[in-house]
Structure 1
Amino acid sequence: MGSGLPGTGFPLAVVAVTGGLSAFLTVLAIRYALRRQLLDLPGQRRSHVRPTPRGGGIAIVAAMLAGGIALAIGEGRTQYVPLLLPPMLGVAWVGWLDDHGGLSALKRLAMHVIAAAWVFAGPLLLLTAFPVADAAGTSLFAVVAASAVTFAIVWSINLHNFMDGIDGLLTLQAMFVLVALAVVAALRGVQGSAFLLVCAAACAGFVPFNFPRARIFMGDVGSGVLGFVVGVGVLWQIADPRIAATSGLILCSAFVTDATCTLLSRMLRGRRWYSAHREHLYQWLVRSGFSHAQVVALYMTWNLLLVLPVVCWMNRPSASSITPGAAVAAAAAVYALATAVWWFGKRWCLGAARTRRRHAAA
């Protein structure tokens, strides 16, 4: 990843060009989708009301890769290219195939696991941070660590796909997390912020075509890669002791809570949790009468008024010695509150939906 927060010069130029390239490629993606009739049609399990082109996330992926490679070459950090390029291409490939007509969930999951393992199976940096005395213990730790980080990235890929259901929500959430991680890293003297900003710029170029009213959806090709990048970014942040350990997890709390609570709720109720549905909180809010823009505003309000202040407090200059225990406690408090908001929000939406049905029947 690149060094420091770019202020002037080469890194800032790459960030700016990446945003412009993403916007240009999105225009081409719209034309391609219309020509190939790659359209998401309205339906019972969808939150939009008009046929909309899909697959626009290919513009985000292409711009992100071009900007990232240019940054790596310009800063002499090409060692990161073989670490990140193949898995990103793999996740994008299965997403692109799925956008063009469907791909089995098992095939997609297999590629997600391979992509996650590609990044972390080799350089198990956690071993240097937490040395184990004996060889057997080291081997066991390596298996546990590799399994944990692989699961985390695979879940990040899929939860971001689940949360890509209304105009602008995923794009703006990814931008928020990536920019916040970049700024925190730069303020704490950690290298890596330039690449995160390149990824955020690729999202920014797509935003005008996806929000407040979508002219194109990003599709699985975009949501999968964004989930991969956010997952890797959060794990990279956790591995650096100069940043409060749970900063990235807190930044992702809105999406992680909604996706995880919804999945667990469906499993506990015996639903087919792996099938398409409209039971996430953001979808219930739309069904209760909120516009897409209003729902996005609610999620961004959570990010800006609660999440960002907590992360800034954890990483303030005087908190150089904040303990992992304190960071975990802060994350637990945020997630407990997020779970409560999800539960009460879901109850309110169910009541509002019943009221709307009664009024419609009358």
Structure 2
Amino acid sequence: MLSWLLLHFLIAAVGTLLARRYALQRDLLDHPGERRSHQVATPRGGGVAIVAALLVAIVALATRDPSQRWLLGGFGIGLVLVAAIGMADDHRPLPVSLRLAVHALAAAVLAISVQMASGNPWLAMLAFVSAMVLTNVWNFMDGINGLAASQALLVAMALAWVLGGSWALLAGALAAACAGFLPFNFPRARIFLGDGGSGGIGFSIAGLGTVAAMPDSPAALWLLLPLSAFLVDAGLTLSMRTLQGERWWEAHTRHAYQVWARSKGHTSVTLLYASWTATTVAVMIVLRTTPVSLAVALCVVTYLAASVVWWRLERMESHTKTTGDK
């Protein structure tokens, strides 16, 4: 296991270095602006190294474990589709409709492979919905240094604990790859994930979570705990912007983590989010063999608490704007 983790850590680290060099040569830079949370022009697209590490893992595991080839194949095809459209968008902005259409195709491929492997249409539906949601949530939440990659690392560790066999190794590869990328993105960002990387991570977490639910449906409920910070922040912010008639797909700085970062800084907020998620991972590991009713109760309490924090941060931002206008 140690050599497996080290391999994917190195693939991601070396790949990130190469991606940074490529981005600088091609002038693939995110520039500061009203809809950005950073202050200096920064290369983007480093997440391709994480995707590359995952694809190496998928090929190796499919060769080693023929019984999982179809499911791993569907996972890999979907990952390539999401990463490819994201990387294309990193080079030249694409219509949101095209990006969502490719995401839907990737989610459908994953869902079909889950249906073939499990024979359970509900799990196939879970695969499709979670892939669509998490692919975009990780993109929305990739706005300050280290946040998206550190959250992925923690969630992948939780998935590796829950899963077994080849899928635990794949989750471990994702965690190791995120660890290989993070030194280039946190605490100072020398490169960003880009849409290809953030979308690929979200899709991978969705696929791994669905596989975890195949033999053990309650696992899907427990996995909602480590996802709570991202799902609440992205979900409530998206709902608020939609109700206010804003274009939800456009870049902005209204997420709770962005509001918080303006007063506390990127490093503090990333560490605070990591502390929240690490706590939920610990709770999940300790209590996941307990009755499902406890998982439901803990999810309700956790999401309500996260929603209160989001609401307070939103009020703080509104008050700041009102005071500034006066």
Query: Do these two structures clear the TM 0.5 threshold for a shared fold by scoring above it?
Result: yes
2:108 aligned residue (112, 117, 125): 117
1:205 aligned residue (180, 185, 189): 180
Note closer, same or farther for the CA distance 1:48–1:247 as it changes in structure 2 (3 Å cut): same
Is this contact kept in 2: 1:14–1:70, CA < 8 A? no
Give the letter for the 2:285 counterpart: C
Are 1:339 and 2:307 counterparts?
A: yes
Correspondence list, 1:176-255, <5 A: 176-185=154-163, 192-241=167-216, 244-255=219-230
Partner of 1:51: 41
| 1:128 shift after superposition | 5.2
2:85 aligned residue (94, 119, 138): 94
Are 1:42 and 2:32 counterparts?
A: yes
1:172 aligned residue (112, 129, 150): 150
1:302 aligned residue (276, 286, 292): 276
Partner of 1:292: 266
| 1:167 shift after superposition | 0.7
| 1:334 shift after superposition | 1.3
Percent identity (aligned): 39
| 1:238 shift after superposition | 2.6
Are 1:279 and 2:247 counterparts?
A: no
Partner SS state of residue 251, structure 1: coil
1:328 aligned residue (296, 300, 307): 296
Q: Distance in 2 between matches of 1:244 and 1:98?
A: 34
Partner of 1:159: 137
C-alpha distance after superposition, 1:215-258 (max 9, x if no partner):
00110010010010011122222333276441111111100000
Normalising by the residue count of structure 1, what TM-score does the alignment of the two structures yield?
0.83
Is this contact kept in 1: 2:288–2:295, CA < 8 A? no
Unaligned runs of 5+ in 1: 1-5, 7-11, 130-141
C-alpha distance after superposition, 1:38-65 (max 9, x if no partner):
1111110000111101111111111221
Partner SS state of residue 124, structure 1: helix
C-alpha distance after superposition, 1:2-33 (max 9, x if no partner):
xxxx4xxxxx3222111111111111111111
Instruction: Kindly indicate which of the two structures has a greater share of residues assigned to helix.
Output: 2
Partner of 1:138: none
Partner of 1:264: 239
| 1:145 shift after superposition | 6.0
Normalising by the residue count of structure 2, what TM-score does the alignment of the two structures yield?
0.92
Q: Which stretch shifts more, 161-170 or 260-269?
A: 260-269
Partner of 1:132: none
Note closer, same or farther for the CA distance 1:149–1:192 as it changes in structure 2 (3 Å cut): closer
Q: Distance in 1 between matches of 2:217 and 2:109?
A: 26
Partner of 1:63: 53
Q: Distance in 2 between matches of 1:245 and 1:221?
A: 25
| 1:354 shift after superposition | 5.8
Partner SS state of residue 115, structure 2: coil
| 1:184 shift after superposition | 3.2
Partner of 1:105: 96
Give the letter for the 1:282 counterpart: Y
Q: Which stretch shifts more, 68-77 or 51-60?
A: 68-77
Q: Tell me which structure has the larger Cα radius of gyration.
A: 1
Give the letter for the 1:157 counterpart: T
